[in-house]
Amino acid sequence: MADDNTDTKSSNQMWGGRFASGPDAIMEEINASIGFDKKLFAQDIRGSIAHATMLAHQGIISADDKDKIVHGLNTILSEIESGNFEFSRQLEDIHMNVEARLATLIGPAAGRLHTARSRNDQVALDFRLWVKEELEKTEQMLTGLIAAFLDRAEEHAESVMPGFTHLQTAQPVTFGHHCMAYVEMFGRDRARVRHAIEHLDESPIGAAALAGTGYPIDRHMTAKALGFREPTRNSIDTVSDRDFAIEFLSIAAIAGMHLSRLAEEIVIWSTPQFGFVRLSDAFSTGSSIMPQKKNPDAAELVRAKTGRINGSLVALLTIMKGLPLAYSKDMQEDKEQVFDAAESLELAIAAMTGMMRDMTVNTARMKAAAGSGYSTATDLADWLVREAGLPFRDAHHVTGRAVALAESKGCDLAELPLSDLQAIHPDITDKVYGVLTVEASVASRKSFGGTAPSEVRRQIAFWRARN
């Protein structure tokens, strides 16, 4: 069907090589969205059933025509679901594909479905419904990811690891505490998702082309039937607004950024040099040439998908930024960006949930690393403040000298003999050794939100109650 004018028009010799015929075919190719908006078939049919039902209820079409329309639409739904529907590019988009098929199935009554409606409010409706469902799915997936982190955090509330700043060993923390940092991040992502659902929960149908309609429609009725809180308030805004899609992409970009930071940490942690975690076979691959390797490909791909999601966000912001109100065909380019980002985000969350649940945590390696790099130096300074009454700045200086001495001797702080420490400051006693271990360091940090196991358990309980 798409090529039926091949013989009557020849393609332009300079630039038409890939087109079946002349400008008509090019127009069809640039104009058609059916290749991607067929994904909206279920939302389109749902919207049309609600619209036709309302039209009949308001006496705008007859009950008989409404019955035919609804029956025909349900037939089309099962045709598409079972793969027995032929999509036509000449019919441009999902809306016209469905309507044309309806005409074939039920005859002239099909022509009454588009009363008091335009493709402008129709596409706004279909797309909103799709994004709403995707947000609901994202919410659930984030809940699953948070649950995976809570389990690991509980298991490792006491496992010490080095905490980093600048990727330099800073102070000992617990792996449970580190896991709970991600719970906070994904918890914020989920809150953004919930907020976005609230934002988009308004029904666009009935805005018509842009100005509303003279037919006595009931937009509250369709809003309710389609599960929206209420109808949108301004018909011009309704058909020109794609904030809901941009919000979805922003949320996806922020969540993607979080997932990518986690991916980066997993890549680092799983190197033989760190050896903090070992990925399961299910989430790693071998090298075709180096038999010893176990590569964190899934983590790397999560990191890369974030770039793709960011691209989609920037693309849609750029598509929308110069558009006068109300609808312009530019807006048709919204869908592929959102579909692609949604697929990437789902995959990234699923991969990270699996990776976190499956990975083996090497607590011995973490603990050994936690003690290196003079990670308890702050604890020595704090001890000097607390037990010897030094101002923190002086204590910091004294500790710096102790670290320099340990460094020159090639040993840990806790391995310096008391005589060495006392040469640096006479008030140091052997009690100081009690705070130089990583366990003591971690246990002491009981401030609200801190890394002490007791505090981490309190954080876990907080999130368990909310997950």
Binding site for ligand ARG (CB under 6 A): 33, 37, 93, 119-120, 123, 327, 329, 331-332
Question: Nearer Cβ to ligand ARG, position 119 or 178?
Answer: 119
Question: Nearer Cβ to ligand ARG, position 98 or 148?
Answer: 98
230-231/202-203 β-pairing: parallel
Q: In the bound complex, what is the minimum distance in angstroms from residue 205's beta carbon to ligand ARG?
A: 13
Q: What is the distance between the terminal CA atoms of the chain, rounded to a whole angstrom? A: 52
Asked whether the beta carbons of 106 and 72 are under 8 A apart, the reply is yes
Omega prior to 326 cis, within 30 of 0: yes
Rounded to whole angstroms, how far apart are CA atoms 194 and 140?
Answer: 11
Asked whether the beta carbons of 340 and 312 are under 8 A apart, the reply is yes
> In residues, how long is the chain?
467
Q: In the bound complex, what is the minimum distance in angstroms from residue 181's beta carbon to ligand ARG?
A: 41
Question: Nearer Cβ to ligand ARG, position 125 or 416?
Answer: 125
Active site residue 372: no
Q: In the bound complex, what is the minimum distance in angstroms from residue 120's beta carbon to ligand ARG?
A: 5
Q: Which amino acid is at 336?
A: E
Rounded to whole angstroms, how far apart are CA atoms 422 and 427?
Answer: 7
Report the alpha-carbon angle 124-127-133, nearest 5. 135
Q: In the bound complex, what is the minimum distance in angstroms from residue 238's beta carbon to ligand ARG?
A: 13
Question: Nearer Cβ to ligand ARG, position 319 or 452?
Answer: 319
Q: In the bound complex, what is the minimum distance in angstroms from residue 333's beta carbon to ligand ARG?
A: 8
Q: In the bound complex, what is the minimum distance in angstroms from residue 106's beta carbon to ligand ARG?
A: 23
Q: How many CB atoms lie within 10 A of CB 422?
A: 14
Active site residue 177: no
Rounded to whole angstroms, how far apart are CA atoms 177 and 159?
Answer: 9
Question: 82, 166, 408, 447: which is the annotated catalytic residue?
Answer: 166
The residue among 390, 413, 392 whose CA lies nearest residue 401 is 413
Question: 10, 78, 287, 328: which is the annotated catalytic residue?
Answer: 287
- Classify 275 as helix, strand or coil: coil
Q: Given its phi and psi angles, is residue 412 left (phi above 0), alpha (psi -120 to 50 degrees) or beta?
A: beta
Can you tell me which residue has the tokens 């006479």? 426
- Please list the active-site residues: 166, 287
